[in-house]
Amino acid sequence: MANAHDLAHDQTGERLIAPVPRVTIEAFCETPAVAAVLESVAADRRLARAQTKLSMGGAPAAVEAFRHAPTPNVIILETNSDREAILAHLDSLAEVCDVGTKVLVVGHVNDVQLYRELMRRGVSDYLIAPLSVVDTIAAISELFTSPGAEPLGRTIAVIGAKGGVGASTVAHNLGWSIARTAHLATVIADLDIAFGTTGLDFNQDPPQGIAEAVFSPDRVDSNLVDRLLSRCSDNLSLLAAPAVLDRTCDLDEGAFDQLLDVLRASTPAIVLDLPHVWTGWLRRVLTSADDVVIVAEPDLANLRNAKNLADLLRQTRPNDRKPRLILNRVGVPKRPEIATADFLKAFDVELAATIPFDAQLFGTAANGGQMLSEVQPSGKIPAIFDELAAAITGRAEQRRGRASAFLSPIIARFARRKS
């Protein structure tokens, strides 16, 4: 069993940072280096809802800017001054600062006495340059995370590089493995409202589903989501798609924002089964996910599309892990295929798994409304999904009597809450 120190980090040291809410942030810098880091911070996906403005001039510029204007939710001040000058600038800022504004100071000296004085004056945090992009994002995020807040769940977006490559099958079996082997409460959310297959794959026909939340976003809260969830096991629930064509799905870009916020506040693992479309809302969900899994078959069209997706994600998620690639249906008889090594040479992506073609296994599971491990409990392909679930959650499986030494941060938070 992992101890408390082990629970604080996963194998990669990856941090799970909550998205920053819809707030206004203004930064006043003194050096180009700090300004460049804050520009990268402002462009990060976790600040997509925030309005961020950067200016030069440091604390004096901030005091002057807000002398006759309301202050934003967050002010970031960089200062190169000595302790007395910094405190004097903060006293001047306090005279024009609105109640509730949070102030984050970036300094260039590691001074405990200064830190204590800043805390006494109500400064929210003190960061020491040179800044790390990820640490700065975390510091801003933590300004809006109360100490007693619920743990934040991890979203895992699964998308096919091409239609019909088995991305939904991968998403469903991955969610099943996370719930079964990592023992995490998991929700599989089917975002293909018109043609989703989650209900079929789990042999369920829930009367309500994800459409109830998407088409009435103003009603979405934890109580509504609980009513919409269809339970499959102790750790697994579904948000199935209605798969009806009585209305079109021309959704706004932020159509899933509220629903995902509610799920993240209550569920450790959320697997998103994304349809093969390209819309504003899908791009938003994809780029804001904590992990992205691209499913592809070894042919030229899949190679091109997977590369385009990976290139986009590298541009829009520069501070996140690279997307994971799953090559599915490898080894179809008599079908010419691109070799795995050649597929990976084309772009920078992490190969998460190679799933061999097995028409009998996949066909039996699909037609019977079962997961692969239910059809073939000790099979090699179900074991691939268990290994993938362990890699994504950061929890190594206990094999041959060797216990795991690591748990992901999200497991750690939930473990501490239960203890």
Q: What is the CATH number of the domain that holds 39?
A: 3.40.50.2300
Q: How many domains does the chain have?
A: 2
In residues, how long is the chain?
419
CA angle 279, 280, 285 (to 5 degrees): 100
Which pLDDT value is given to residue 100? 81
225 and 83 in a common domain: no
120 and 210 in a common domain: no
User: Residue 199 sits in which domain range?
Assistant: 154-418
**CA 297, chain centre distance (Å):** 25
71 and 51 in a common domain: yes
100, part of any domain: yes
What's the rounded Cα separation, in Å, for the pair 77 and 126? Answer: 10
125 and 173 in a common domain: no
Which pLDDT value is given to residue 148? 56
Tens of pLDDT along the chain (419 residues) come to 232 233 233 333 466 788 888 889 999 999 999 999 999 999 999 998 899 999 999 888 988 888 888 888 999 999 888 888 888 888 888 888 877 888 999 988 888 888 888 888 888 899 998 999 999 999 999 888 766 555 578 999 999 999 999 999 999 999 999 999 888 889 999 999 989 999 999 998 887 788 888 888 788 888 888 889 999 888 999 999 988 888 888 899 989 998 998 898 888 899 999 999 999 999 999 999 999 999 999 999 999 999 999 999 999 999 999 999 999 999 999 999 999 999 999 888 889 999 999 999 999 999 999 999 999 999 999 999 999 999 998 764 443 333 333 334 444 444 444 44
CA angle 73, 25, 267 (to 5 degrees): 80
Q: What is the CATH number of the domain that holds 178?
A: 3.40.50.300
Cis peptide preceding 298, ω within 30 of 0: no
Specify the pTM.
0.80
The secondary element (H helix, E strand) that includes residue 72 is none
